[in-house]
Structures are given as structure tokens and as C-alpha cells.
Chains A and B, each alone.
Chain A
Amino acid sequence: GAVVSQHPSWVICKSGTSVKIECRSLDFQATTMFWYRQFPKQSLMLMATSNEGSKATYEQGVEKDKFLINHASLTLSTLTVTSAHPEDSSFYICSALASGGMMDEQYFGPGTRLTVT
């Protein structure tokens, strides 16, 4: 099956610093990638939709200047958490939609656990 990787799998950073998370589709091309955030015992909440070569679309309440998304190629999207604060500590998960795929061809990465101290 298709594989999506995320790097790093976990990261600890100090408050005020920036962290970049990579999401890669390893064996397929993805024109669309989604970024979700999951707090403990909570659902996955969509943060933004990332389309290759264009600006990301952010969900209501998600600060686009704080969560910078770049989808520079058909296999890579990055999420940069700028000026991180402890409340940004969460589990960040990306998913990649296989080009031309139906709903079930959305593959999830293993997630990145961010802890801001």
C-alpha cells in the first residue's frame, strides 16, 4: 500500500522557537495533502488543506501566519510552527491524497508529536 512518512516523529522545542514538520508521500504523487492536529483523547481536527503549487487553505481559527504550510512538490508538504508556545503542543498528522483518487485513497502519516516547553 501507499506510504506517507513524517519527520520528525517527535520533537521538543523551547517556547518562541520555530519547528518544521515534513510530510512525504513515498511511492505516489499527491496534489493535495491535509494537515490535522489531535489533542489527547480528542478527534483529529483539520488545520489546513495544502495543494501543490498554490497557497494552503486554512480552517477557521487556524492562524496562517503561525502555521506556515508549503507544498513545494507532488511528494512533499511542510508545516512550520512559528514562535511555538506550550499550547501548540499536540500530535500533528498529515494525510496525502493520491492524485485522481477517491475518498479511500487518502493515506495518513504516522504523526509528529510536538512538545513546547
Chain B
Amino acid sequence: QKEVEQDPGPLSVPEGAIVSLNCTYSNSAFQYFMWYRQYSRKGPELLMYTYSSGNKEDGRFTAQVDKSSKYISLFIRDSQPSDSATYLCAMGYQAGTALIFGKGTTLSVSS
């Protein structure tokens, strides 16, 4: 079993839809949970960062971490065509160490 599992999609939704992206993980030692957005042939861009469990909201984006279930989610409200990209979840054991990434989910939002 891989450390981080993420459904690669693709996921296609109409503009304005609520999008739910998810990752599961196997190692309970992860403490830091991130979501990155990556456009084609570009480096990842940090969207959301959560330490330990709980929810975090930033504009149209909400990140949730459920450590008991080893499950994290990213919700995008009122999705826009500009949200079309690959979304990568990433996790870390401690500050200053490298991240373990999921495969990424490709999202397409149609207008």
C-alpha cells in the first residue's frame, strides 16, 4: 500500500459546482497536510496547509483533515474554469522535511 493514495480522476464538473477532492494515507505519523495546485508543465503552488486535524477555510477553498480516518479533503465552492488544474495532496512528518505527494487529481471545470 502506498503511503498516500489519491484518485487521479479526471474529474469534470460544470462551472459553479462544489468540488470534493480526497486523499487517504497509511502513516499515522503525518502531522502536516497540504494541498497544491499544479498547472500543466508548471511547479506546484500551495493552496492550503493544515497542521494536525481540523478544518481550514480560505475563500472558496476548505481543507479538512480527519486523522482518525487517515483521510483529508479539499472542497472548492463555486468552481470556476480557472480552477481547472491538477490538485496534489501532500503530507509531512515534521517541519523542515520533504513532503510525500499523492498522484494528483485532474480537475476540469467547464463554463
Contact = CB atoms under 8 A, between A and B. Distances in A.
A12 interface: no
Interface residues of B, number: 27
B46 A93 contact: no
B44 A103 contact: no
Contacts of B96: 32, 97, 101, 103
Which of A103, A106, A108 has the largest count of B CB atoms less than 10 A from its CB? A103
B108 to A, nearest CB: 15
Contacts of B46: 104, 106-108
Interface in A66-115: 91, 93, 97, 101-104, 106-111, 113
Contacts of A6: 43
A39 B41 CA distance: 11
* Interface residues on chain A, size class: 20 to 34
Given A97-B96, A108-B44, A111-B42, A103 B32 contact: yes
Contacts of A42: 103
Contact of B42 (A34, A107, A110): A110
B34 interface: yes
Contact of B44 (A44, A101, A104): A44
Contacts of A32: 96
A106 B92 CA distance: 11
Interface of B: 4, 6, 8, 32, 34, 36, 41-46, 49, 51, 88, 92, 94-104
Interface of A: 4, 6, 32, 34, 36, 41-46, 49, 91, 93, 97, 101-104, 106-111, 113
